[in-house]
Amino acid sequence: MDNFKFSDPEVKKGIEAVEQGEMVFIFDSDSREGETDFVIAASAITPDDVRWMRRDGGGLICTALADEVCTTLGLPFMADLLAEGAGRWPAIGDTVEQAGDLAYDSRSSFSIWVNHRNTRTGIPDNDRALTINKLAEISEKGRNGEDVVFGDQFRAPGHVALLRAAEGLVENRRGQTELSVALAQMAGITPVMVVCEMLDDTNGKALSKEDARTYAQLHGCVFLEGAQITKVYKEWVARQKK
């Protein structure tokens, strides 16, 4: 993290937590998904963190990668991949995401699902943690200009869902994918993050913002709203351009 003066002390705390490999919680917005996610750096995640997410989060554990990282690794949007296969498999053409299908955004951020080649089934906590750690590792190597071949280390389909962040992050899309990667960028770490939605065990819906905030406080973790991150990230980007 550079010497940029953050206008929001809570966002600064969140960035510091991400930099130190700690869990933070992000609520996107009431007008979007209205969900809070567990968020942690992919390079720092452990099997215990995966267990924590699946037990207390209950949503889908995904790995979000910056757009430029996906370009370097050759990772597509799943919708684009499916659209190309529609000619051979008609059912794909009928089901692949179209404009207007999503109530909360113009498109989803899903890419492919993978397992690391050193895993067996890929689903246990230690397998998923290994896959996610290795995703961060290969992403950093690619960013540093090293020659990397994604398929040498990963196979698909697998049990770790990849998310491709929008180019420009929150300037163009304000999902958990972009918000989490924005924190990583401001923290100066590899822009690959793990996210998992928090669900309510009593009704199966998204956990309310109030309950999620209380949970974060009980566990000594930073809780941030998407609007906070978006504001600070735009200020940070403007500073980088000077």
Contact at 8 Å (CB) between 24 and 224? yes
Alpha-carbon distance of 57 to 54, in angstroms, equals: 5
Selecting among 28, 33, 70, 115, the annotated active-site residue is 115
Selecting among 28, 62, 127, 178, the annotated active-site residue is 62
CA dihedral (31, 13, 25, 188) in degrees, to 10, reads 90
Q: Which of 114, 124, 132 is nearest to 51 (CA)?
A: 124
Selecting among 16, 105, 159, 211, the annotated active-site residue is 159
Q: Give me the residues paired with residue 164 across strands.
A: 65
CA count, 13 A, side-chain hemisphere, 65: 31
Selecting among 197, 221, 225, 233, the annotated active-site residue is 197
Return the structure tokens found at 181.
């990667």
Alpha-carbon distance of 163 to 195, in angstroms, equals: 10
Return the structure tokens found at 2.
């550079």
Selecting among 37, 49, 67, 225, the annotated active-site residue is 37
Q: Is 8 among the catalytic positions? A: no
Selecting among 30, 48, 104, 146, the annotated active-site residue is 104
Q: Is 221 among the catalytic positions? A: no
- Burial bucket for residue 133 (CB in 10 Å: 0-12, 13-18, 19+): middle
Q: Is 159 among the catalytic positions? A: yes
Residues involved in catalysis: 37, 62, 104, 115, 159, 197
